[in-house]
């Protein structure tokens, strides 16, 4: 199965800075046969970056989009407007859920809209620290996964990527706050178990599952060797050229 390395730039870089940074990444990269490298700049940078990107080396993702294709929705960008610009879209990220109040119902509509517009959704799921402390991890993962996929039928599930991002492990530099390989393995096994119940074992095994949560060059190798993990969703380290390209090289070595 292909390995995915996805860099989420969040609210960083001007359009000019994003263009220069993308150029540096492309210049430093080689073509990797079984590794899909994806970066997610801010929405305003997507269109100009789509004109300079070498899609043989790297693909673009949107960080967000609206589920309606057109209409009176001031300030929004639709998936239909992103067709031909973005290949992927991050949907259901914890910052969208907990800062902007996106619900499972909103997220399921976005997943469906992405598929409808031939953009691959990267559906993010994961529990908060308090949910984990109260033993609610399994329920949260199940609710978010089932909710996000509720409009995805058997014919379209192969167009979806799942990303497990425990909220308590995001943007952490403390070893005690990082997710352990065993914790990740348990969550990924649960995700595939739920997918099996809905779509069958064959689909569950074929669905890419990524991990995200304070990924860096120092832990990327360990995370990529966790059973069932098919790639990484990277935040802070994706903003640092040496770290991001190091992680890509690690992925190449791990899965070569």
Report d(CA 233, CA 209) in Å as an integer. 10
Domains and CATH numbers, the chain: 3-254 (3.20.20.70)
User: Which of the residues 93, 102, 127, 243 is marked catalytic?
Assistant: 93
172, pLDDT greater than 70: no
pLDDT of residue 225: 96
Q: Kindly report the pTM of this predicted structure.
A: 0.96
List the alpha helices (DSSP H) in 149-240: 181-199, 201-206, 220-224
pLDDT of residue 29: 86
Per-residue pLDDT band for 174 (boundaries 50, 70, 90) equals low
The yes-or-no answer on residue 205 being catalytic is no
pLDDT of residue 36: 96
Question: What secondary structure letter does DSSP report for 66?
Answer: B
175, pLDDT greater than 60: no
pLDDT in tens, 210-220: 999 999 999 99
Nearest to 63 by CA among 37, 19, 106, 94: 94
CA distances from 186 to 26, 40, 59, 151, 230 (A): 35, 28, 30, 26, 15
Per-residue pLDDT band for 168 (boundaries 50, 70, 90) equals confident
User: Which of the residues 36, 95, 102, 165 is marked catalytic?
Assistant: 165
Report d(CA 229, CA 143) in Å as an integer. 20
Q: Which residue in the block uniquely carries the two structure tokens 């996106």?
A: 102
pLDDT in tens, 9-68: 999 999 999 999 999 999 998 777 899 999 999 999 999 999 999 998 999 999 999 999
Report phi then psi at 3, rounded to 5.
-100, 130
pLDDT in tens, 71-105: 999 999 999 999 999 999 999 999 999 999 999 99
The yes-or-no answer on residue 93 being catalytic is yes
CA distances from 23 to 4, 17, 49, 105, 159 (A): 20, 10, 9, 38, 28
């Amino acid at each position: 199965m292909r390995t995915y390395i996805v860099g989420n730039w969040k609210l960083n870089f001007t359009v000019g800075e994003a263009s220069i940074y993308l150029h540096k990444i492309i210049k430093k990269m080689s073509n990797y046969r079984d590794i899909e490298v994806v970066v997610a700049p801010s929405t305003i940078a997507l269109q100009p970056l789509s004109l300079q990107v070498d899609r043989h080396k790297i693909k673009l993702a949107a960080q967000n989009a609206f589920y309606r294709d057109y209409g009176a929705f001031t300030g929004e960008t639709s998936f239909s407007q992103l067709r031909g610009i973005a290949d992927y879209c991050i949907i259901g990220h914890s910052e969208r859920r907990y800062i902007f109040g996106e619900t499972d119902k909103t997220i399921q509509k976005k997943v469906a809209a992405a598929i409808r517009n031939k953009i691959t959704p990267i559906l993010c799921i994961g529990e908060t620290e308090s949910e984990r402390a109260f033993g609610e991890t399994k329920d949260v993962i199940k609710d978010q996964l089932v909710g996000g996929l509720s409009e995805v039928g058997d014919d379209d599930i192969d167009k979806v990527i799942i990303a497990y991002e425990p909220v308590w492990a995001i943007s952490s530099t403390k070893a005690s706050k990082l997710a352990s390989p065993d914790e990740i393995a348990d969550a990924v096994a649960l995700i595939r178990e739920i997918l099996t119940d809905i779509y069958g074992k064959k689909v569950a095994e074929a669905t890419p599952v990524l991990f995200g949560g304070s990924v860096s060059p120092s832990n990327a190798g360990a995370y990529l060797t966790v059973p069932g993990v098919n790639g990484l969703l990277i935040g802070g380290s994706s903003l640092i050229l040496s770290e991001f390209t190091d992680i890509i090289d690690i992925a190449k070595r791990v899965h070569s």
